[in-house]
Structure 1
Amino acid sequence: MSKYLVEFAALATAHFLALISPGPDFFLIVGTSVREGTARAAALCAGIAAANGAYILLVLTGFAFIKQTPLLFTAIRTAGALYLVYLGLMLLKPSQHPVGSSLPAEGESGGTTRRRQFAAGFLSAILNPKNAVFYLSLFTVIVSRETPQVIQVGYGLWMVGAVFFWDLLIARLAGSEKVRYRLDRHAHWIEKGSGGALLLLGAVLLLR
Structure 2
Amino acid sequence: MFGIHDLTLFIVSGLLLNIMPGPDSLLIMARSASQGWRAGCAAALGIGAGTFVHIGAAAVGLSAVLATSATAFTVVKWVGAAYIVWCGIGMLRARLKPGKSGSDPEGQTLSTAPARLPLRRIFAQGFLTNVLNPKVALFFLAFVPQFIDSDATNKPLAFLILGCIFNFNGMLWCNGLALFTAFASARLKVKPLVALWLNRVTGGIFIALGARLALAEQH
- Report what 1:23 is aligned to: 22
Unaligned runs of 5+ in 2: 99-110
The match for 1:114 is: 119
> Normalization by structure 2: what TM-score?
0.79
Instruction: Provide the residue aligned with 1:190 in structure 2.
Output: 198
Q: Deviations over 1:29-64 (max 9, x none)?
A: 111111211112212111100111111111111221
Q: Which has the higher helix share?
A: 1
- Contact 2:87–2:203 at 8 Å: present in 1 too? yes
Partner of residue 40, structure 1: 39
The aligned length equals: 198
Contact in 1 for aligned 2:95/2:114 (Cα 8 Å): no
- Report matched runs for 1:1-208 at 5 Å: 1=1, 4=4, 6-63=5-62, 64-96=64-96, 113-147=118-152, 148-149=154-155, 150-176=157-183, 178-182=184-188, 184-185=190-191, 186-208=194-216
Shift of 1:69: 0.5
Confirm or deny: 8 A CA contact 2:46 2:127 kept in the other structure. Answer: yes
TM-score when normalising by structure 1: 0.82
In structure 2, do the counterparts of structure 1 residues 87 and 67 end up closer, same or farther at CA, with 3 Å as the change threshold? Answer: same
Is the CA contact 1:31–1:191 (under 8 Å) kept in the aligned structure 2?
yes
Q: CA RMSD in A?
A: 2.7
One-letter identity of the residue aligned with 1:182: L
Whose Rg is larger?
2
Instruction: Look up the equivalent residue of 1:170 and give its one-letter code.
Output: L
Most deviating of 120-129 and 184-193? 184-193
